[in-house]
């Protein structure tokens, strides 16, 4: 069975938010919304992603990060309603 | 089998974002992050939620809304990393 990690976050601090998003890219996930990443994972990846995030957030406050491991078939059955939505613009805003 | 609807959104316009969040509350979902709601649903609720959202977003642009229907057991296995996170504050910000 194939799995997808879906990670959604709400992080107050710009620097921490950028660190988290860079980490999620580095482990191979793709940004699907301004504050959400998804990507195929092996079951063993879950612990690594969680451990990596725990390391990054240590000492910080004002954050909520949620990790969902769902089957690829459930992921592919998601409904996406989208219009005139550009993720590139949003990513640049993080750097301002 | 019991199901949970997980809805994440990225909506540029304040008014549309507020309308969407009020709709999601009205159908019985709970805000779990600034831009994410979740709650138990019957399989038949999925179409109603999707139809309601499609009605609200008609004519709007600059949005991305994703609906995931996952089993309750997958939902309960999510990992939540959270510290000093207050959702109430975030909700008030929408009204400014």
Its ipTM equals 0.91
Q: What is the rounded distance in angstroms from the CA atom of residue A64 to the CA atom of residue B65?
A: 20
Burial A67-87 (b: 16+ CB within 10 A, else e): bbbbeeebbeebbebeeebee
Whether the per-residue pLDDT at A73 is higher than 90: the answer is: yes
Q: Taking CA A19 as the corner, what is the angle to CA B77 and CA A29, rounded to the nearest 5 degrees?
A: 50
Q: List, for residues A3-59, the tens digit of each pLDDT value.
A: 999 999 999 999 999 999 999 999 999 999 999 999 999 978 989 999 999 999 999
What is the model's pTM?
Answer: 0.92
For residue A28, give the 3-state DSSP assignment. coil
B7 contacts B63 by C-beta, under 8 angstroms: no
Q: List, for residues B10-69, the tens digit of each pLDDT value.
A: 999 999 999 999 999 999 999 999 999 999 999 789 899 999 999 999 999 999 999 999
Instruction: Please tell me which residue, A7 or B90, carries the higher pLDDT value.
Output: A7
Give the residue from B30, B79, B86, B90 with the most A CB atoms within 10 Å of its CB, the best one to mutate. B79
> Which residue from A8, A32, A85 is facing B36, i.e. has the nearest CB?
A8
- Measured between beta carbons, the chain B residues lying within 8 angstroms of A50 are 79, 81
Structure tokens belonging to residue A14: 């710009």
What integer pLDDT is reported at residue B96 of this predicted model?
Answer: 45
Which residue of chain A comes nearest to B5, CA vs CA?
Answer: A78
Whether the per-residue pLDDT at A89 is higher than 60: the answer is: no
């Amino acid at each position: 069975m194939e799995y997808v990690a879906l990670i959604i976050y709400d992080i107050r601090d710009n620097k921490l938010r950028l660190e988290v998003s860079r980490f999620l890219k580095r482990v191979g996930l793709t940004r699907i919304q301004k504050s959400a990443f998804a990507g195929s994972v092996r079951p063993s990846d879950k612990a690594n992603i969680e451990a990596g995030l725990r390391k990054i957030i240590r000492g910080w406050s004002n954050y909520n990060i949620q990790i969902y491991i769902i089957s690829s078939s459930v992921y592919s059955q998601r409904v996406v309603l989208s219009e005139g939505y550009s993720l590139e613009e949003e990513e640049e805003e993080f750097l301002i």
